[in-house]
Structure 1
């Protein structure tokens, strides 16, 4: 579990995060949503340790990350998987080499052990027999699956995804959402996803945190977001006519 308490972070005179408190549970897909400039990216970077908060704490299973020793921080880094926007694969490396990269960096496994693990996660993301292909030979969706395989190759306790559906067609985006949710539940990972994709919110939003101007303006599930009367959430989520109709139909069904 990740627990965030009274998190503040600013840059110069600009205060970006203004006292955010929330928590993320294992085995659930938690989504961070909000308009551009709401603080989502700074919040995610704070969770993975790229930003140090000025006030407040972030705890990983009861351990406050800013209090880690050097060895504890090294161990914590190995417990984190990250799926970057745009996949961030190494173009000059094969699929196998990309996925094996964290194992080479953080473990002392022999080549045979690493290859066995790489093949296991590639099979899990439905990319068997793609070991020797290069990223340029893959579709956008396949690249995202390679990125997910690399993120889970170390068997992480915590998985962070930054706009995992960016640049994907709607059908492929749904498949990526389903894959992330399946892996989260299967391995009891604490998964946090930054997204603008409202389809993701409705499909896999087991917990949704809505940020506005650096504060947590609302949180709940994908079912609860249909019923909320929070004006900012309604305006953000139901800006399209399609989602307005979906919400209206849902509310009529639950009357």
Structure 2
């Protein structure tokens, strides 16, 4: 479990995170949502250890980050996988090279061991014939799957995804959502996703943390959203007529 208690972060006079307390559980897809400027990107960077909060604590399975030594922090970061918004693949490397990069950097595995692991994770994300291709030679959806393969190649305990569906068509976005959720459950890891995609929220939002102006305004599941009377979250999620109709249908069926 990742446990966050009373997290604050400011930049000069701008108080970006204002006392956030929440937990992210193993085996669940945990989503952080909110409008631009709500603080979700800064929150994610604090969770990754890229920013140090001014106040409050973050603990990873009982390990409080602020109390860890430098070596312990490096070990913790090796337990983290990251899927970046733009995939962040190395253009000069093949698909195989991109996925193998963390193994070369952080392990002492033999070449054959690394190749076996790369083959395994590429097969897991349904990319069996793309090893020798370069990022420019594959589609955006395939690039995202390569990024996921690279994120899980070190067998992480924590998987962080920043807008994983950004730039993808709706059908491909659904495939990526399903893949992330499948991997989360299959490997029983803690997955935290920064997202503005309401389809993702409704499809895989097993735990949702909604931020507004740096405050945790609401949290719950995707099913709880249909029942809540919290105006801030309903206004955010049901800004489109489609979701308003879906909610009406859900409540009607519930009756």
TM-score interval, smaller chain: over 0.9
Matched, 1:154 2:154: yes
Give CA deviations for 1:78-100 in whole Å, capped at 9, x if unaligned: 10000000100000000000000
Count of matched residue pairs:
255
2:223 aligned with 1:228: no
**Paired residue for 1:143?**
143
Alignment partner of 1:243: what SS?
helix
User: What residue in structure 2 maps to residue 59 of structure 1?
Assistant: 59
Q: Which whole-Å deviations, capped at 9, do the CAs of 1:29-79 have from their partners, x for residues lacking one?
A: 000000100000000000001110010000000001121112111110110
Which residue is 1:33 aligned to? 33
Consecutive unaligned residues of structure 2, counting only runs of 5 or more, are none
The residue aligned with 2:165 is 165
How far apart, in 2, do the equivalents of 1:171 and 1:10 lie?
Answer: 38
The equivalent residue for 1:104 is 104
1:192 match: 192
User: Partners of 2:152 and 2:66 in 1: how far apart?
Assistant: 24
Q: Do residues 124 (structure 1) and 124 (structure 2) align?
A: yes
Q: State the match for 1:95 in structure 2.
A: 95
Give unpaired runs (5+ residues) of structure 1.
Answer: none
Distance 1:100 1:178 in 2: 24
SS of residue in 2 equivalent to 1:87: coil
Deviation per CA, 1:81-133: give whole Å up to 9, x if none: 00000100000000000000000111011111000000000000000121100
- Deviation >4 Å, runs of 4+: none
Q: Which position in structure 2 is the counterpart of 1:47?
A: 47
Q: After superposition, give the CA deviation of every residue in 1:175-198 in whole Å (9 maximum; x if it has no partner).
A: 000000000000001000000000
* Secondary structure in structure 2 of the residue aligned to 1:108: coil
What residue in structure 2 maps to residue 19 of structure 1? 19
TM-score normalised by the chain length of structure 1: 0.99
Quote the residue 2:79 is aligned against: 79
User: Partners in 1 of 2:94 and 2:77 — Cα distance?
Assistant: 24
Q: Per the alignment, in what secondary structure is the counterpart of residue 234 of structure 1?
A: helix
- Whole-angstrom distance in 2 between the partners of 1:122 and 1:68: 33
Distance 1:91 1:248 in 2: 46
When normalised by structure 2's length, the TM-score is 0.99
- How many angstroms apart in 2 are the aligned matches of 1:111 and 1:66? 36
Q: Structure 2: how far apart are the matches of 1:236 and 1:178?
A: 23
